[in-house]
Structure 1
Amino acid sequence: MRLEADTPPIQVLLVEDDEDDFVLTRDCLRALGPGRVKLEWVSTCEEALAALASGRHDVCLLDYRLGAMTGLELLQQARQQGWSGPFILLTGQEDATIDHQAQQAGAADFLEKSQLTPTLLGRSIRYARQHARTLEALRRSQESFRELIEHLPDGIGVQQGSQLVYANRALATLLGCASVDELIGHSLSTLAEEFLQAEAWTLLRDDITQALKQGTPVAPREIRMMRRTGGHVLVEITQVPLVFDGQPCLLWSVRDLTERRQMQARLLHADRMASLGVLSAGVAHEINNPLAYTISNLDYLETNVLSRLELPEGARGEVRELLSDARLGASRVSDIVKQLKLFSRVDEDSQPEPVDVHRVLETSICMAMNELKHRARLVRNYDEPILARAHEGRLGQVFLNLLVNAAHAIPEGDVERNEIQVVTRNEDSSVIIEVRDTGVGIPEDLQERVFEPFFTTKPVGVGTGLGLSICHGIVTGFGGQMSVESRVGHGSTFRVVLNAAAAARPAEPAKASEKNVASRRGRILVVDDEPMIGVAIRRTLQREHEVVTLTSAREAHARLLAGEHFDVVLCDVMMPEMSGVELHQALASGAPAVAERMVFLTGGAFTPVARAFLNQVKNHRVDKPFSSDELRELVRRLVGT
């Protein structure tokens, strides 16, 4: 049987120590056709191994008897040296034992020399080459599949009987093992004792029974697994019955849920912060309204009413002291509202901007003081005023978390012996903020994990393990860095490194003072849905100006479009039915000169539209609660222009 005419020459190595047998084999190969086979003959095992090492042969014809060595022994050595091509064993006698040994050794065929013909030898060579190509394709497929499994991000294990017979690298890494050899060959019960709690193992054993009984995968189950290196990891385990290496088994797919939980936690945190931002701005608006007219009325009471009362001098001084205390209390309420607004500000989409680091630190300290004062003395070690590129609200969240964590690292009851130090400094183009405590410290082997999601050194139920992870994400989002240094029994230092910001622009020259502004009685319109705000402003301005108060922006819109003249329109931003924003927009198209004379009163803009409007509009703005003197000065200046 001839080989096809278009096939390339076959490179054949013949290992034969008998010249007559060489001639027999050569003649059979020549009969296959001219140029179809290129034969190389060697007679010793050493020559054979050297020739095979060259890698140029397609098939090897191998005599069974080679002096002191058999062809099968030579075959084994060649395989060990890396030659994977096909062998055909040639023997001088029919022997079923040799035939079986040849098959076991991986020979492609076994031929008797006495029966050798060109047709038989050609068919055997063609089969051997095809078989070798098939085996090579299977080998590559198996290696590719193994490579795929080995590089899966999910942990994969195969249980056969009660033992783990396969594990990929991801599973070993997930469990904190140095290699898969630490897992393979162990019984499931032994591994469960180390990596699972008893309750979890009971649930998984029930799943194993169900999967094997029904022959179908069971529903994924979330389990907390222990790690050999310490700590734990939340995983999702799926068990699938299949046939592995010809035997029924159970495949375990173990997926790390840390990243998913981290993302869910971040989304939940972002949602809570957004909700808190809306809520606190609304609360601030509701607090600032009564606070505004309370402070305004206190000012009016002291400057205009008290002077007209006939009181003994001692009583007059007592009243002044009471008024001063009341103003101080109102001012403290105002500061608390400002702090709440700072920490709930929604600025996720805005770009980092210059932030006064010390101002944010002081606000954070005020918020954390109840946690700090019972545990340690607070020491400030500030450098000169510094600006960093960040978001004020989110940076405040980082500082607050670090301060509270520092406090929680110190037991209560020994304030004088413990210290929390806040340090700031400039280094080149960076701003460094450190929060140092004299608390219990963090073990060295755990320090590299403190910024991991869900990792916490606090007792179960006390912390979520997300605070430092979120802070780390905030700081790196600014383009900064966050690190920790700690010694057990000596405390910890958490360090935040931010990009320094350029100095703020110099303040604009002060507006013309009261003495330089022409005194003229103006006509003022106050639009605020809180009646007491209008009353307080009228009391403040009525000696110098005519003041009209309205609680409806729609009524104000109608009167202004009708041509009624006002020198200044003091208007609240957030009102029902028609807001100050909507009133300005309506006047900008119908009476633009009036829109330019609007001054916005705001106790907190808690909608995106209102915030965007106040950031863009060029009109003057007065924050509630306002100072009576500042309001009079602003109105006097606007009326005089």
Structure 2
Amino acid sequence: MALMATNGKKHILMIDDDEDDFFLVNSLLQDISPDQYVLQWVSSYKEGLLAIETRTHDLYLVDYRLGVHTGIDVLHHFRNLGYKAPVILFTGKGDYYIDKEAMLAGAADYLVKSEINAALLERAIRYTLDKFSHLLAIEKSEKRYFSIFEKSNDLILLADCEHKIVAANPAALQVLNYEEDELYSSHLQRLFAEDSVVADFLAQLCTEEGVVQKEYMFLSKTGQQLDVTINASLLDEKKQLYLCIIQDITARKRKEREKQQQEKFVITGRIARLIAHEVRNPLTNILLAVSQLKMEPVSKTEEAPLYLDIMERNCHRINHLVTELLQSTRMSELNMLPMEVNPLIEKALQLSADRLQLHNVTVEKELCRPDGKILADEDKILIAFLNIIINGIEAMKAGEGRLSIQARCEADKVLIRITDNGSGISPQNQAKLFEPFFTNKTKGTGLGLTATQNIILQHKGTIAVESALGEGTSFLITFPLVA
């Protein structure tokens, strides 16, 4: 509203078809507060509308009777203009129904002309202006905070005393992948990936300090794990409303993990090269000696050829392990080409078809629709997929296995989830899963998943594992999509 306040005076427009009423009101105002108000008068509904559209007055005094029109019509005009201003309605006699109609239409006050005196008029004007000023301040504040709520990149949730979610900003709905009505029928504890931390979070929430910058793991509606930090506290003690401001730090955490993994590969690669150099030199000498002995006459004991075979076989085995270690930790050259995701998954399943059939494993597929493309070295990606699929097959009971492969293409990435219903992995072992030589298999080298992680990282992808003992394991893989 454009307010005019010449020399600090408030400008008032009076719309009334009776000039005597104007003189009376003006006189009353000049008597009680001569230096505070400037009163302007128009005598018709039409002139009143034209004056309102200039938006140059602080307050409006409007007569209920304006020829064929009424003061209610004037109030409706304010609403149609989208113009908020304080309006006091005058009438010739008191009428409850007119009073109610005026208030519903937006009048700030209602005065009966025959009962007006200087003190009553000045008080009504002053109170109306003060009230309107406060309402404007509140509205401005509400708009500011509503804008923060709506436009914030952080997730903002409001929860009631039972920890049921009662409000969520657009960022929260988008990141958690819920519709409003779905999220509003949920409780805060449903968002946590780990049930064991929920009790601690709710207990802290009810303290004076609340929850300050604590890290938790959330699950989106689609089952995606999200790393988050939470600041939460009691917002309104009377209404028992809790405010939770949540930062999604999944991308930051992923980059930290990727950096750690890259550093681990660099260190492991150095160790592998050192081992290869220190082990292969004596191995070569031993193998040469064995070959020489085999060509020369051997003692007549029956065990001599047997011992030579054992030495030769184990030398070759050590050499093979060293080669595998080097390959699993070396950042090799890749032949990267744009490739569709679905055919790569289908080909990996075809290559593992014999094992799937042998163990009678049921395969469930839910692939990208429409398909997306990634930059990939086909041979290397197939090795990575096969290692995960074969691990899953070997972890499941024959005849009871169920392997699920889901692929979902989003705006800039593809998410692939490979899940088995096998024996699962303990939390302690999950932390060591991608380390060289770590294995639970009696005949495994422990280098398959190390190589898998190496391949996926070289493709600028990520790999994570979710597992519970006795329930199975999920490998979550992401790759950036290309146009």
Question: What TM-score results when the alignment is normalised by the length of structure 2?
Answer: 0.57
Residue 407 to residue 168, structure 1, CA distance change in 2 (3 Å): same
Instruction: Measure, in 2, the Cα distance between the counterparts of 1:119 and 1:280.
Output: 95
Query: Deviations along 1:415-458, whole A, 9 cap, x unmatched?
Result: xxxxxxxxxxxxxxxxxxxxxxxxx89556x34499678x6232
The letter for the 2-side match of 1:344 is T
Which residue of structure 1 lines up, in the alignment, with residue 178 of structure 2?
177
Shift of residue 405 of structure 1? 0.7
Which residue of structure 1 lines up, in the alignment, with residue 13 of structure 2?
13
Shift of residue 144 of structure 1? 1.3
The letter for the 1-side match of 2:420 is P
Instruction: Measure, in 1, the Cα distance between the counterparts of 2:26 and 2:453.
Output: 76
Does the aligned pair in 2 maintain the 1:12–1:38 contact within 8 Å? yes
Partner residue of 1:475 out of 443, 459, 466: 459
Shift of residue 16 of structure 1? 2.3
Residue 81 to residue 496, structure 1, CA distance change in 2 (3 Å): closer
Query: Deviations along 1:315-373, whole A, 9 cap, x unmatched?
Result: xxxxxxx99x999997886676455335435x8xxxxxx94749xxxxxxxxx9xx979
The letter for the 1-side match of 2:145 is F
Partner residue of 1:341 out of 326, 329, 332: 326
Residue 343 to residue 204, structure 1, CA distance change in 2 (3 Å): closer
The letter for the 1-side match of 2:78 is A
Shift of residue 215 of structure 1? 5.1
**1:557-572 matched pairs, under 5 angstroms:** none
Instruction: Measure, in 1, the Cα distance between the counterparts of 2:47 and 2:5.
Output: 31
Residue 6 to residue 226, structure 1, CA distance change in 2 (3 Å): closer
Shift of residue 287 of structure 1? 0.7
Count of matched residue pairs: 392
Instruction: Measure, in 1, the Cα distance between the counterparts of 2:312 and 2:125.
Output: 106
**1:513-524 matched pairs, under 5 angstroms:** none
Does the aligned pair in 2 maintain the 1:450–1:456 contact within 8 Å? no
Partner residue of 1:458 out of 419, 433, 436: 419
Which residue of structure 1 lines up, in the alignment, with residue 254 of structure 2?
262
**Larger deviation, residues 255-264 vs 202-211:** 202-211
Which residue of structure 2 lines up, in the alignment, with residue 147 of structure 1?
147
Which residue of structure 1 lines up, in the alignment, with residue 342 of structure 2?
none
Partner residue of 2:216 out of 216, 219, 222: 222
Are 2:234 and 1:241 equivalent residues in the alignment?
A: yes
Shift of residue 139 of structure 1? 1.6
RMSD: 5.8
Residue 54 to residue 230, structure 1, CA distance change in 2 (3 Å): farther
Instruction: Measure, in 1, the Cα distance between the counterparts of 2:104 and 2:145.
Output: 26
**Larger deviation, residues 235-244 vs 465-474:** 465-474
Does the aligned pair in 2 maintain the 1:224–1:232 contact within 8 Å? yes
SS at match of 1:266: helix
Are 2:158 and 1:158 equivalent residues in the alignment?
A: yes
The letter for the 2-side match of 1:404 is A
Query: Deviations along 1:228-265, whole A, 9 cap, x unmatched?
Result: x5555465666522317x63322344444533542443
Residue 341 to residue 298, structure 1, CA distance change in 2 (3 Å): same
The letter for the 2-side match of 1:225 is L
SS at match of 1:247: coil
Partner residue of 2:383 out of 403, 408, 425: 403
The letter for the 1-side match of 2:156 is I
SS at match of 1:285: helix
Query: Deviations along 1:294-331, whole A, 9 cap, x unmatched?
Result: 467679x59xx98xx8x79xxxxxxxxx99x9999978
SS at match of 2:420: coil
SS at match of 1:84: coil
Instruction: Measure, in 2, the Cα distance between the counterparts of 1:495 and 1:133.
Output: 56
The letter for the 2-side match of 1:59 is L
SS at match of 1:457: strand
Instruction: Measure, in 2, the Cα distance between the counterparts of 1:126 and 1:157.
Output: 40
Shift of residue 284 of structure 1? 1.6
Query: Deviations along 1:435-493, whole A, 9 cap, x unmatched?
Result: xxxxx89556x34499678x62323747999999986664359xxxxxxxxxxxxxxxx
**1:77-88 matched pairs, under 5 angstroms:** 78-79=78-79, 81-88=81-88
Shift of residue 268 of structure 1? 3.7
**1:225-624 matched pairs, under 5 angstroms:** 225-227=219-221, 229=222, 231=224, 233=226, 239-243=232-236, 247-256=239-248, 258-294=250-286, 337=322, 340-345=325-330, 355=333, 357=335, 375=355, 400=380, 402-406=382-386, 408-409=388-389, 442-443=405-406, 446-448=408-410, 456-459=417-420, 461=424, 474-476=458-460
SS at match of 1:6: helix
Looking at CA atoms only, which structure, 1 or 2, has the larger radius of gyration?
A: 1
Residue 160 to residue 357, structure 1, CA distance change in 2 (3 Å): closer
Question: What TM-score results when the alignment is normalised by the length of structure 1?
Answer: 0.46
Instruction: Measure, in 2, the Cα distance between the counterparts of 1:329 and 1:256.
Output: 51
Does the aligned pair in 2 maintain the 1:159–1:250 contact within 8 Å? yes
Residue 135 to residue 472, structure 1, CA distance change in 2 (3 Å): farther
Instruction: Measure, in 2, the Cα distance between the counterparts of 1:334 and 1:181.
Output: 61
Uncovered stretches (5+) of structure 2, i.e. residues with no partner:
299-306, 337-347, 357-374, 395-402, 435-448, 462-477
Query: Deviations along 1:17-65, whole A, 9 cap, x unmatched?
Result: 4343234345667888799747352533x76556545544432222245
Instruction: Measure, in 2, the Cα distance between the counterparts of 1:233 and 1:497.
Output: 20
Does the aligned pair in 2 maintain the 1:63–1:91 contact within 8 Å? yes
Residue 443 to residue 279, structure 1, CA distance change in 2 (3 Å): closer
The letter for the 2-side match of 1:290 is P
Residue 216 to residue 42, structure 1, CA distance change in 2 (3 Å): farther
Residue 497 to residue 115, structure 1, CA distance change in 2 (3 Å): closer
Instruction: Measure, in 2, the Cα distance between the counterparts of 1:271 and 1:61.
Output: 77
Residue 100 to residue 63, structure 1, CA distance change in 2 (3 Å): same
The letter for the 2-side match of 1:171 is A
Residue 126 to residue 496, structure 1, CA distance change in 2 (3 Å): closer
Residue 261 to residue 278, structure 1, CA distance change in 2 (3 Å): same
Which residue of structure 1 lines up, in the alignment, with residue 470 of structure 2?
none
Shift of residue 80 of structure 1? 5.6
Shift of residue 272 of structure 1? 2.7
Residue 192 to residue 40, structure 1, CA distance change in 2 (3 Å): farther
Residue 400 to residue 296, structure 1, CA distance change in 2 (3 Å): same
Does the aligned pair in 1 maintain the 2:16–2:41 contact within 8 Å? no
SS at match of 1:170: helix
SS at match of 2:88: strand
SS at match of 2:177: coil
Uncovered stretches (5+) of structure 1, i.e. residues with no partner:
313-321, 348-353, 359-367, 377-394, 414-439, 478-493, 499-641
Residue 27 to residue 256, structure 1, CA distance change in 2 (3 Å): same
Residue 452 to residue 223, structure 1, CA distance change in 2 (3 Å): same
The letter for the 2-side match of 1:157 is L
Does the aligned pair in 1 maintain the 2:5–2:11 contact within 8 Å? no
